[in-house]
């Protein structure tokens, strides 16, 4: 067990059935952009093709790092495109992680 004070951003969404190509282009760009955000640690994404539901969990050093990401000008364009073209709906939860556990098979 590790004590932690990382801030976690959980983005759950339902993607529309159109604009997959444009979405993928923006998603690739956002993947690179978030990695350059000061205070960014890591992220993981999963997407179910059948339900079109996705989850991205991003980890940051602090709430101010999450704010930097949220306020990034290019990310704000992607946010607008998300509402206009990419998503039927989404939810964002921000939480402070207090501890984490890890297990790996040998």
Domain spans in the chain, listed from the N-terminal domain onward: 2-97
At residue 46, φ and ψ (nearest 5 deg) are -135, 150
Which residues touch 41 (CB under 8 Å, ≥6 apart)?
A: 6, 59, 60, 61
pLDDT at 5: 84
Determine the topology of domain 2-97 in CATH. Answer: Alpha-Beta Plaits (3.30.70)
Tens-level pLDDT at each residue, the chain (106 residues): 666 689 999 999 999 998 899 999 999 999 999 999 999 999 999 999 999 999 999 999 999 999 999 999 999 999 999 999 999 999 999 999 988 889 999 9
pLDDT at 100: 87
pLDDT at 99: 87
């Amino acid at each position: 067990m590790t004590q932690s004070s990382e801030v976690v951003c959980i983005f759950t969404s339902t993607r529309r059935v159109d604009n997959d190509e444009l979405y993928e282009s923006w998603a690739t760009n956002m993947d690179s952009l978030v990695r350059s955000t000061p205070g960014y640690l890591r992220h993981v994404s999963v997407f179910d093709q059948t339900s079109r539901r996705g989850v991205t969990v991003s980890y940051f050093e602090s709430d101010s790092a999450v704010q930097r990401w949220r306020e990034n000008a290019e990310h704000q364009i992607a946010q607008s495109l998300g509402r206009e073209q990419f998503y039927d709906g989404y939810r964002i939860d921000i939480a402070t992680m207090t501890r984490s556990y890890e297990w790996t098979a040998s």
